[in-house]
Amino acid sequence: MIREAEEFADEDKETKARVDARNALESYIYSMKNSIEDAEKLADKLSDEDKATITETIEEAQTWLNENIEASKEDFQDKLTEVEGICKPIVAAATEEEGDEEDFDGHDEL
Protein backbone atom coordinates (compact mmCIF):
# COMPACT_ATOMS: atom_id res chain seq x y z
CA MET A 1 0.00 0.00 0.00
CA ILE A 2 2.83 2.37 0.81
CA ARG A 3 4.52 1.46 -2.47
CA GLU A 4 1.33 2.32 -4.38
CA ALA A 5 1.12 5.66 -2.59
CA GLU A 6 4.73 6.42 -3.54
CA GLU A 7 4.03 5.48 -7.17
CA PHE A 8 1.01 7.78 -7.25
CA ALA A 9 3.05 10.55 -5.65
CA ASP A 10 5.69 10.21 -8.37
CA GLU A 11 3.01 10.24 -11.08
CA ASP A 12 1.43 13.33 -9.49
CA LYS A 13 4.79 15.13 -9.51
CA GLU A 14 5.35 14.28 -13.17
CA THR A 15 1.83 15.38 -14.08
CA LYS A 16 2.23 18.65 -12.19
CA ALA A 17 5.55 19.36 -13.91
CA ARG A 18 3.98 18.66 -17.32
CA VAL A 19 0.98 20.89 -16.56
CA ASP A 20 3.25 23.65 -15.26
CA ALA A 21 5.33 23.51 -18.47
CA ARG A 22 2.17 23.64 -20.59
CA ASN A 23 0.86 26.59 -18.56
CA ALA A 24 4.16 28.44 -18.99
CA LEU A 25 3.88 28.12 -22.77
CA GLU A 26 0.22 29.16 -22.77
CA SER A 27 1.01 32.13 -20.55
CA TYR A 28 3.86 33.29 -22.80
CA ILE A 29 1.66 33.02 -25.90
CA TYR A 30 -1.12 34.99 -24.20
CA SER A 31 1.29 37.62 -22.90
CA MET A 32 2.95 38.14 -26.29
CA LYS A 33 -0.40 38.35 -28.05
CA ASN A 34 -1.59 41.02 -25.63
CA SER A 35 1.69 42.92 -25.77
CA ILE A 36 1.75 43.25 -29.55
CA GLU A 37 -1.86 44.43 -29.59
CA ASP A 38 -1.50 47.00 -26.79
CA ALA A 39 -0.23 50.42 -27.85
CA GLU A 40 1.09 51.09 -24.34
CA LYS A 41 3.21 47.95 -24.49
CA LEU A 42 4.61 46.97 -27.90
CA ALA A 43 2.05 47.66 -30.61
CA ASP A 44 3.44 51.09 -31.49
CA LYS A 45 7.08 50.07 -31.07
CA LEU A 46 7.20 47.18 -33.54
CA SER A 47 7.50 47.35 -37.28
CA ASP A 48 4.80 45.63 -39.32
CA GLU A 49 7.33 42.95 -40.24
CA ASP A 50 8.24 42.29 -36.61
CA LYS A 51 4.56 42.16 -35.61
CA ALA A 52 3.93 39.68 -38.40
CA THR A 53 6.85 37.52 -37.28
CA ILE A 54 5.66 37.45 -33.68
CA THR A 55 2.04 36.88 -34.71
CA GLU A 56 2.99 33.99 -36.96
CA THR A 57 5.19 32.50 -34.25
CA ILE A 58 2.55 32.64 -31.52
CA GLU A 59 -0.19 31.38 -33.84
CA GLU A 60 2.01 28.42 -34.80
CA ALA A 61 2.77 27.77 -31.14
CA GLN A 62 -0.94 27.90 -30.27
CA THR A 63 -1.71 25.42 -33.05
CA TRP A 64 1.08 23.15 -31.84
CA LEU A 65 -0.26 23.41 -28.29
CA ASN A 66 -3.78 22.47 -29.40
CA GLU A 67 -2.48 19.51 -31.39
CA ASN A 68 -0.12 18.26 -28.64
CA ILE A 69 -2.28 18.37 -25.54
CA GLU A 70 -0.55 15.35 -24.03
CA ALA A 71 3.02 16.38 -24.90
CA SER A 72 5.76 15.83 -22.36
CA LYS A 73 7.13 18.46 -20.02
CA GLU A 74 10.29 18.56 -22.14
CA ASP A 75 8.29 19.09 -25.34
CA PHE A 76 6.44 22.04 -23.80
CA GLN A 77 9.71 23.50 -22.52
CA ASP A 78 11.37 23.06 -25.91
CA LYS A 79 8.48 24.80 -27.67
CA LEU A 80 8.59 27.68 -25.17
CA THR A 81 12.34 28.05 -25.71
CA GLU A 82 11.77 28.08 -29.48
CA VAL A 83 9.06 30.75 -29.28
CA GLU A 84 11.07 32.89 -26.86
CA GLY A 85 14.08 32.57 -29.13
CA ILE A 86 12.13 34.26 -31.90
CA CYS A 87 10.16 36.81 -29.88
CA LYS A 88 12.62 38.02 -27.26
CA PRO A 89 15.23 39.46 -29.66
CA ILE A 90 12.52 41.38 -31.52
CA VAL A 91 11.07 42.78 -28.29
CA ALA A 92 14.52 43.63 -26.96
CA ALA A 93 15.43 45.48 -30.14
CA ALA A 94 12.15 47.41 -30.11
CA THR A 95 12.48 48.44 -26.48
CA GLU A 96 16.18 49.25 -26.94
CA GLU A 97 15.35 51.53 -29.88
CA GLU A 98 12.79 53.28 -27.73
CA GLY A 99 15.42 53.85 -25.06
CA ASP A 100 17.84 55.21 -27.65
CA GLU A 101 15.19 57.64 -28.89
CA GLU A 102 14.56 58.92 -25.36
CA ASP A 103 18.28 59.49 -24.86
CA PHE A 104 18.47 61.26 -28.23
CA ASP A 105 15.54 63.49 -27.31
CA GLY A 106 17.52 65.07 -24.52
CA HIS A 107 16.82 62.75 -21.61
CA ASP A 108 20.01 62.17 -19.73
CA GLU A 109 21.06 58.70 -18.70
CA LEU A 110 22.25 58.33 -15.17
- Candidates 1.20.1270.10, 3.40.50.720, 3.40.50.300, 3.20.20.70; CATH matching 2-104: 1.20.1270.10
- Apex 36 CA angle, 34 and 50, nearest 5: 150
pLDDT in tens, 24-82: 999 999 999 999 999 888 889 999 999 999 999 999 999 999 999 999 999 999 999 99
Query: Within a 10 A sphere around the Cβ of 81, how many other Cβ atoms?
Result: 10
Give residue 70's identity as a one-letter amino acid code. E
Instruction: Read off the pTM.
Output: 0.80
Q: Which residues contact 92 (CB under 8 A, 6 or more apart)?
A: none
Alpha helices (H) in the chain, listed in sequence order: 2-37, 48-67, 73-104
Domain boundaries, the chain: 2-104
